[in-house]
Structure 1
Amino acid sequence: MQIQIVPYQKQYAEAIANLIISIQQQEFNIKITLADQPDLQDIDNFYRKGSGNFWCALSPEGELIGTIALIDIGNNMGAIRKMFVKHEWRGKEKNVARLLLHTLETWAQQHAVSKLYLGTVEKLKAAQRFYEREGFTLVDVEALPTQFPRMAVDTIFYQKTLYSV
């Protein structure tokens, strides 16, 4: 059996919150709590509307090891959020981040999302290298679409065109 990427199901809600909060707080010392992220307490209504969705990466044993989400921000555009992979599952050889991103990109194209945007923080250097390898380019904050849901902690922004409209 191999790593599976599956759409969000309520049975994963607690594991998702625990994974994301532990990475944010303990690994990267980002001062953010579950209360600061109401989207994690209502994934269905926050992410799974329009062309949006939320996916979970599961280990061969069925453990939640990663997440990624797409928010439909209108005008054939989407915002990537909640891209997290458990530390021991990171890296090119494990391929979890790439599987998550490619699942999101395939879904986006099938649902008429032609351009993706995301925000990240300065200290996440490996994430920045990953996005750049995957074809994302830096974009100035002033050039973000007005409907892009900017997170207060984000300071670096990327975009990727999936296809021309």
Structure 2
Amino acid sequence: MSNNGRPIIRILIQNFLNSFRPRQIKGDYKGEDYLGNKFYEIKADPSRGKRKTSRWYEPPGKPELDYGHELTAEWESWLRGRRQDPPTQEELLKNLAIMQMKKKNAAALEGKYEKSQDHASIKHDVATGRAAFPRYDEEYEIMPGSKPIKQKD
């Protein structure tokens, strides 16, 4: 038997050992979000058998095994392939401003309802010990432009 063929066992062992090494792949830097995450991409190359684009991100600080990092919705959709182009900085800042405005409005509404809520009007169910659903004073118009009718319990 001649040993002119490929040493299959040696190739299998070498591939197995290489699978334990961390990847040393360099991708194209695509951008960064306001949370500090950096995003990278390697384009598909069908001539080398790579049919799908690879996208990933590096969280700020030391990379840990904790995958609870926050991502913006725009970058997450790019990572998952739902959008072709990465988001622009203007788009990220616009959506951040909208998000902060919504938080501010929600806090104002919550403060308004806390002030107007009559705690005595919340009835407790004696059997379960739970509070019933709170009721707020609301006014509804039957016909547009007519005088609102006060809701009664």
Shorter-chain TM-score range: under 0.3
Higher RCO structure, 1 or 2 (CA under 8 Å, sep 6+): 1
- Give the number of the structure whose residues are more often strand, by fraction: 1
TM-score, length of structure 2 as denominator length:
0.24
Rg (Cα) greater in structure: 2
